[in-house]
Amino acid sequence: MYIRESADAHRQMGNSLAVRLPVELAQRLGVKEGDEVSVTLKGERTIEFRSKKRPIAEELLVRVSEITDKFPADFAFDRDEAKARR
């Protein structure tokens, strides 16, 4: 896909430069606020753009329940025991 819309170099943040995407471009790419974005230089002036969606709370709860369902029903976490194993 070849996109000819532009992004603006917006502001310096530490050693990085923040980039502002036009709303139309962000919508076409499916990027929303909070998404993790990776931009890689390919050639002289071509970039490869990838985004990773940040999971919502409900998705995280499902992941946690999948892990905790593997413990025995009478399992109780003991912080002191865990520290002693270090």
Give the tens place of pLDDT for each residue, 5-37.
Answer: 555 556 676 787 777 788 888 888 888 887 878
CATH of segment(s) 8-71: 2.10.260.10
CA distances from 58 to 23, 32, 72 (A): 27, 18, 24
State pLDDT tens for residues 58-83. Answer: 888 888 888 877 888 888 888 898 88
Backbone angles phi and psi of 53, in degrees to 5: -70, 135
The structure tokens listed for 40 are 């890689």
pLDDT tier at 2, thresholds 50, 70, 90: very low
Element at 82 (helix H, strand E): helix 79-84
Question: What is the residue extent of each domain of the chain?
Answer: 8-71
